[in-house]
């Protein structure tokens, strides 16, 4: 199912790739992400994400901006940024993005120690990496079962219904 199939009036969890595709123009994946966020902006849907997802988004946007602005290759980009902290001063798009997300009607749930604790069991039970298990822990806490994500690993979680860009 696609983002367009999410029923009106529902609350949906937004994974990192939704925001990344919204901010990084991709001819196939950006239009559905923009449409999904417009539906949330208009009140047709309610969106929620977490602070840890936003951190993931910002990190990825920083590395993409560094590649585009500084002409660096993807391989070793984080290490290169660590070695050249002055280069980070030249990057600003990722900062603008966090402001845009925080000014939007997307609810941002803070990850708690209880969520992290729950995530460890979810990781083992569902075969998920830590960040995905945290998403599931938060979704369970909030009583959510709809997720907008390109990550097919969420398909292993029986109670979740995943919607993709296409």
Place of tokens 């920083």: 62
Would the pLDDT of 163 be above 90? Answer: yes
- The verdict on domain 3-163 having CATH code 1.10.287.3510 is no
- Model pLDDT for residues 35-65, shown as the tens digit of each residue: 999 999 999 999 999 999 999 999 999 999 9
Among residues 47, 23, 50, 51, the alpha carbon closest in space to that of 36 is found at: 47
Domains in the chain: boundaries = 3-163
Q: How far apart are alpha carbons 34 and 148 in whole angstroms?
A: 12
Q: How far apart are alpha carbons 46 and 142 in whole angstroms?
A: 13
- Model pLDDT for residues 96-105, shown as the tens digit of each residue: 898 999 999 9
Q: What residue ranges in the chain does DSSP mark as E strands?
A: 11-14, 46-50, 107-109, 146-148, 161-163
Q: According to the model, what pLDDT value does residue 111 have? A: 98
Secondary structure element (H or E) that encloses residue 34, with its range: helix 30-41
- Model pLDDT for residues 79-88, shown as the tens digit of each residue: 999 999 998 8
């Amino acid at each position: 199912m696609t983002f367009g199939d999410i029923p009106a009036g529902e609350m949906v969890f937004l994974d990192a790739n939704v925001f990344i595709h919204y901010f990084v123009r991709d001819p196939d994946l950006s239009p559905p992400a923009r449409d999904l966020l417009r539906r949330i902006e208009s009140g047709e849907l309610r969106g929620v994400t977490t602070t840890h997802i936003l951190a993931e988004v910002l990190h990825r946007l920083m590395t993409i901006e560094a590649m585009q602005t500084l002409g660096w290759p993807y391989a070793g980009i984080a290490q290169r940024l660590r070695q050249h902290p002055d280069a980070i001063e030249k990057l600003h798009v990722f900062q603008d993005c966090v402001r845009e997300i925080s000014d939007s009607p997307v609810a941002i749930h803070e990850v708690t120690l209880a969520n992290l604790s729950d995530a460890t069991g979810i990781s083992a039970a569902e075969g998920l990496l830590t960040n995905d298990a945290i998403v599931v822990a938060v979704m369970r806490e909030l009583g959510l079962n709809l997720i907008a994500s390109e990550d097919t690993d969420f398909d292993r979680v029986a109670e979740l219904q995943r919607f993709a860009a296409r």
